[in-house]
């Protein structure tokens, strides 16, 4: 079954001194796609931003890119946040084009990191207020990066329940 859970974790690159990384030497197949380590805050209290998404709107894909002899991947996707609250507009203004790392979680509970040191993820926000009363309004957020891997799983998952309890 495909799909992703209805949240995205946003780690601002400027707030973390270290992030999970792929091993320099690959011994097992998992080493090619599993990042070890943890997100280390630069200052005490720095934590990821939890963005609750409209159900069924989190998308991730990683098409190939480049020349025949130099193929890599372009992980990209989108998510949606319904509504037109001022807080959503502030998030859009504050984090548009900001280097970051995203974490999405698939329905099997595996967390996928988008972005890696030197190839951070960037967000682009769009607002649609609708045209008719019945139209959906809200923010569509697209993201993208470059990568040597089509997917990067986290070896150590971010504890979502703990993160939400701190909020």
Pair 22, 116: CB distance under 8 Å: yes
For residue 150, what are the contacts with CB-CB under 8 A and spacing of at least 6? Answer: 33, 62, 73, 75
pLDDT class of 1 with cuts at 50, 70, 90 = low
Pair 4, 107: CB distance under 8 Å: yes
**Closest-CA residue to 52 (of 85, 13, 75):** 85
Domain boundaries, the chain: 7-166
Percent of the chain clearing pLDDT 90 (strictly above): 74
Q: What is the tens place of the pLDDT at every residue in 137-163?
A: 899 999 999 999 999 999 999 998 888
Q: What is the tens place of the pLDDT at every residue in 6-50?
A: 999 999 999 999 999 999 998 999 999 999 999 999 988 889 999
Site of tokens 């697209």 = 142
């Amino acid at each position: 079954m495909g799909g992703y859970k209805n949240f995205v974790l946003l780690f601002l690159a400027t707030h973390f001194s270290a992030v999970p990384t792929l091993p320099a030497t690959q011994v097992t197949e998992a080493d090619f796609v599993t990042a070890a380590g943890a997100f280390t805050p630069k200052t005490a209290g720095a934590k990821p931003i939890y963005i609750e998404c409209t159900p069924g709107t989190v998308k991730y894909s990683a098409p190939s890119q480049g020349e025949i002899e130099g193929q890599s991947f372009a992980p990209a996707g989108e998510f949606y946040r319904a509504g037109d609250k001022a807080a959503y507009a502030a998030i859009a203004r504050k984090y548009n084009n900001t280097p970051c790392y995203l974490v999405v979680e698939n329905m099997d509970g595996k967390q996928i990191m988008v972005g890696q040191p030197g190839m951070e993820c960037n967000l682009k926000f769009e607002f649609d207020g609708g045209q008719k009363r019945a139209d959906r309004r809200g923010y569509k957020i697209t993201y993208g990066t470059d990568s040597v891997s089509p997917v990067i799983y986290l070896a150590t998952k971010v504890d979502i329940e703990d993160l939400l309890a701190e909020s």
